C-alpha cells in the first residue's frame, strides 16, 4: 500500500537533526545516541547545551582537528571528542546515575519502532546475526526526563515505524515523549500520536497515510 | 612499609586460575588494562568468565585472550565492535556464552558488589527481554526489576597514576568502569602509566582509595589506540 502513495519530499538527516535542535532550550543536559542523533550537536547554535556521554563525560564538544586529538578522550561511540568550558569526567556508575536518576533533561535516541503508548524498540530486531548488544539504550530509555526519538518515518520498504504496538523487542516502556522524523514532528500524549509539525508541503493526510496508528491534530 | 607495587607480570597475576571470573576495566580502548589481559593469555588458564563493558576490538588484550579460546563466558553490555567480528563469530559458533546486561545495570551491579549491597531494584530493562525472568516490583509507580550484585575473583584495571598505597587517579575517559571494579573483586590488580612522586597522590586528588587495590604494576605503554 505505501508504494502507491504519491512520492513526497522528505527532510535529510541533517535537516531532521536541525529541526530537533531548535526545540532544545539553553541550559539543558542532553545525551545524544549513536548515529543520526549525534548530528543534533551541530545545530544548537549559540545556546549553551551540555552534552553527556555514557562513558563518563559532561560537556562534550565537537570532534578535534587532526592535530588536536587527545587519545584519552573518546565518546560512547568511540570517536575522539573535545571538552567544552565547564566539562567534567566521572566513572560509569555516576554516569548512569545521571541517566537513571532522572538528572538528564533529554535523551535523543534512534528507533526501529515507536508505539502510540510511548514504548520504544531500538536495540534489537530479534535477528541475532550480529550478536545481541544493548549498551546504554535501556538506561537512557528508562531514566531521562524526556526521550525524543530521531528516525525515518517509515522503513526502507515503506512500512510504518510509528505503530500501535511495537513488534521488535522493547527497549523501554512508555518513555518516548516526541518523535522527529523525515516527515513530521509528533508528540506522544495519553491519547496517542499528535501531529505537531509537518515537513514543508505535507498535509495531515500525507503523514497519517504513512503512520501505523491513528494520528490526531494538535 | 606498605608497598603494593610488584616487580613483574607473574607477581601481578599470581593466583589467577582456571575457571576464574575476571573484571576488566575500560570503555572502548581507553582505560583498558591490555598488558595485564595479555599476561593472562600467556598464563594459559582456561574456562574464564570476563566481566567488561565491551568484548574486544580487532586488537588489544581482549582480542588476544578471546583468540586463545580461554574464555567461556562474557558478561557485558556491548559485545559488537565496529572493526572486529571476533566475539560475534565465537558467539555464533556456540563457543562462548554471553550474558547481556544494560550498561547502567552492569555498572550498578559492580558498584553494589564493591559496596556490600547484595541486590537492588532498578527500572532499567523492566518489561523487556533483558528483564525477563527477574523478580519485579512496582515502586513509586514504576515497574522495577531486581538485579544482583556482580562479583569477581580478580579485577584488572588501568590507572593514570598510582602510589605505593594503591591510591589511583585516571585520565579523562580512562576512568569509566575502573574505579567501580576496584573493590568488587577478591583481588584487584592495576597497571599504571605513571608512578606518583615521593609524596604520593594528594589526598584530595585520589580517585580510588588504596584500600580497594591489592597489586600495582608500572606499565608506561603510551597512549591508547582506537
Domains annotated for chain B, with CATH where assigned, are 9-118+149-218 (3.40.1080.10)
B residues 16-45 near A, CB within 8 Å?
27-30
Q: Which residues of A touch B171 (CB under 8 A)?
A: 72
Task: With respect to residue A89, please indicate whether it lies within any of the assigned structural domains.
Answer: no
User: Once rounded to an integer, what is the mean pLDDT over residues B166-176?
Assistant: 98
Query: Given CB atoms, is B223 within the 8 Å cutoff of chain A?
Result: yes
Task: With respect to residue A121, please indicate whether it lies within any of the assigned structural domains.
Answer: yes
CA A51 – CA A27 distance, rounded (Å): 10
Q: Do A93 and B107 touch (CB under 8 A)?
A: yes
Residue of A26, A54, A159, A205 with catalytic role: A54
- Summarised one tens digit per residue, pLDDT across range B212-224 is 999 999 999 989 9
pLDDT confidence band for B170 (50 / 70 / 90)? very high
- Entry pTM: 0.96
Average pLDDT taken over every residue of chain B: 96
* B65 and A102 Cβ atoms separated by less than 8 Å: no
Backbone angles phi, psi at B111, to 5 degrees: -60, -40
- Summarised one tens digit per residue, pLDDT across range A132-168 is 899 999 999 999 999 999 999 999 999 999 999 999 9
pLDDT attached to residue B83: 81
Task: With respect to residue A171, please indicate whether it lies within any of the assigned structural domains.
Answer: yes
Q: Which residues of A touch B87 (CB under 8 A)?
A: 131
A residues 48-77 near B, CB within 8 Å?
53-57, 70-76
Q: Do A71 and B87 touch (CB under 8 A)?
A: no
C-alpha cell at B104: 547502567
Task: Give the residue, B103 or B54, on which the prediction is more confident.
Answer: B103
Q: How many CA atoms lie within 13 A of A210 on its CB side?
A: 26
pLDDT attached to residue A35: 87
Q: Do B80 and A130 touch (CB under 8 A)?
A: yes
Q: What's the ipTM?
A: 0.96
Question: Can you give the C-alpha Rg of chain A in angstroms?
Answer: 18
Print the domain residue range for A166. Answer: 2-39+104-217
Task: With respect to residue A23, please indicate whether it lies within any of the assigned structural domains.
Answer: yes
Task: With respect to residue A72, please indicate whether it lies within any of the assigned structural domains.
Answer: no
Task: With respect to residue A54, please indicate whether it lies within any of the assigned structural domains.
Answer: no
Task: Give the residue, B225 or A210, on which the prediction is more confident.
Answer: A210
**Nearest Cα to B190, choosing from B37, B46, B20?**
B37
- Summarised one tens digit per residue, pLDDT across range A35-64 is 899 999 999 988 999 999 999 999 999 999
* B32 and B165 Cβ atoms separated by less than 8 Å: no
C-alpha cell at B191: 597497571
Query: Given CB atoms, is A143 within the 8 Å cutoff of chain B?
Result: yes
Query: Given CB atoms, is A80 within the 8 Å cutoff of chain B?
Result: yes
C-alpha cell at A52: 553527556
Query: Given CB atoms, is B128 within the 8 Å cutoff of chain A?
Result: yes
Task: With respect to residue A51, please indicate whether it lies within any of the assigned structural domains.
Answer: no
Burial label for A32, CB within 10 Å (0-12, 13-18, 19+), is buried
Given B127, B130, B177, which is nearest A134 (Cβ)? B130
CATH number at residue A18: 3.40.1080.10
Number of domains forming the structure of chain A:
1
Query: Given CB atoms, is B177 within the 8 Å cutoff of chain A?
Result: yes
Query: Given CB atoms, is B97 within the 8 Å cutoff of chain A?
Result: no
Task: With respect to residue A48, please indicate whether it lies within any of the assigned structural domains.
Answer: no
Q: Do B104 and A139 touch (CB under 8 A)?
A: yes
Question: Coil, strand or helix: which one is B173?
Answer: helix
> A104-130 as b/e, with b when 16 or more CB fall inside 10 Å?
bbbbbbbbbbbbbebbbbbbbeeeeee
Residue B98 host element (H or E): strand B97-100
CA distances from A151 to A45, A120, A198, B20, B101 (A): 22, 12, 14, 43, 25
A54 carries an active-site annotation = yes
Between B103-115 and A92-100, two packed helices, what is the crossing angle to 10 degrees?
120
Amino acid at each position: 500500500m505505501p508504494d502507491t502513495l504519491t512520492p513526497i519530499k522528505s527532510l535529510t538527516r541533517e535537516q531532521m537533526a536541525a529541526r530537533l535542535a531548535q526545540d532544545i532550550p539553553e541550559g539543558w543536559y542532553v545525551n545524544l545516541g549513536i548515529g543520526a542523533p549525534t548530528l543534533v550537536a551541530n545545530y544548537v547554535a549559540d545556546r549553551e547545551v551540555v552534552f553527556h556521554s555514557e562513558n563518563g563525560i559532561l560537556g562534550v564538544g565537537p570532534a578535534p582537528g587532526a592535530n588536536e586529538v587527545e587519545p584519552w578522550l573518546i565518546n560512547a561511540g568511540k570517536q575522539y571528542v573535545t571538552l567544552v568550558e565547564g566539562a567534567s569526567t566521572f566513572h560509569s556508575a555516576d554516569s548512569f546515575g545521571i541517566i537513571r536518576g532522572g538528572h538528564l533533561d533529554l535523551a535523543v535516541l534512534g528507533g526501529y519502532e515507536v508505539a502510540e503508548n510511548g514504548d520504544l524498540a531500538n536495540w534489537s530486531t530479534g535477528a541475532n546475526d550480529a550478536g545481541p548488544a544493548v549498551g546504554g539504550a535501556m538506561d537512557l530509555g528508562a531514566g531521562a526526563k524526556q526521550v525524543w526519538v530521531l528516525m525515518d518515518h517509515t522503513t526502507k520498504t515503506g512500512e510504518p515505524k510509528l505503530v500501535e504496538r511495537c513488534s521488535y523487542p522493547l527497549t523501554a516502556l512508555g518513555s518516548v515523549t516526541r518523535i522527529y522524523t523525515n516527515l513530521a514532528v509528533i508528540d506522544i500524549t495519553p491519547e496517542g500520536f499528535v501531529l505537531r509539525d509537518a515537513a514543508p508541503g505535507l498535509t495531515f493526510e500525507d503523514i497519517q497515510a504513512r503512520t501505523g496508528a491513528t494520528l490526531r491534530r494538535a | 612499609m606498605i608497598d603494593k607495587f610488584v616487580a613483574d607480570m607473574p607477581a601481578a597475576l599470581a593466583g589467577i586460575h582456571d575457571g576464574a571470573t575476571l573484571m576488566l576495566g575500560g570503555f572502548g580502548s581507553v582505560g583498558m588494562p591490555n598488558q595485564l589481559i595479555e599476561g593472562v593469555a600467556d598464563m594459559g588458564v582456561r574456562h574464564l568468565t570476563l566481566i567488561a563493558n565491551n568484548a574486544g576490538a580487532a586488537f588489544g588484550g581482549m582480542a588476544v585472550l578471546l583468540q586463545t579460546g580461554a574464555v567461556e563466558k562474557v558478561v557485558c553490555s556491548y559485545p559488537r565492535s565496529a572493526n572486529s567480528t571476533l566475539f560475534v563469530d565465537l558467539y555464533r559458533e556456540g563457543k562462548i556464552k554471553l550474558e547481556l546486561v544494560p550498561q547502567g545495570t552492569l555498572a550498578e551491579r559492580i558498584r553494589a558488589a564493591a559496596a556490600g549491597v547484595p541486590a537492588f531494584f532498578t527500572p532499567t530493562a523492566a518489561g523487556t527481554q533483558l528483564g525477563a525472568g527477574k523478580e519485579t516490583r512496582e515502586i513509586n509507580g514504576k515497574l522495577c526489576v531486581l538485579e544482583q550484585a556482580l562479583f569477581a575473583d580478580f579485577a584488572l584495571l588501568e590507572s593514570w597514576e598510582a602510589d605505593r598505597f594503591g591510591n589511583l587517579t585516571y585520565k579523562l575517559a580512562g576512568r569509566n568502569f575502573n574505579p567501580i571494579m576496584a573493590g568488587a573483586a577478591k583481588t584487584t590488580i592495576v597497571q599504571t602509566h605513571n608512578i606518583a612522586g615521593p609524596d604520593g597522590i594528594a589526598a584530595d586528588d585520589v580517585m580510588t582509595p588504596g584500600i580497594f587495590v591489592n597489586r600495582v604494576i608500572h606499565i608506561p605503554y603510551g597512549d591508547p589506540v582506537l
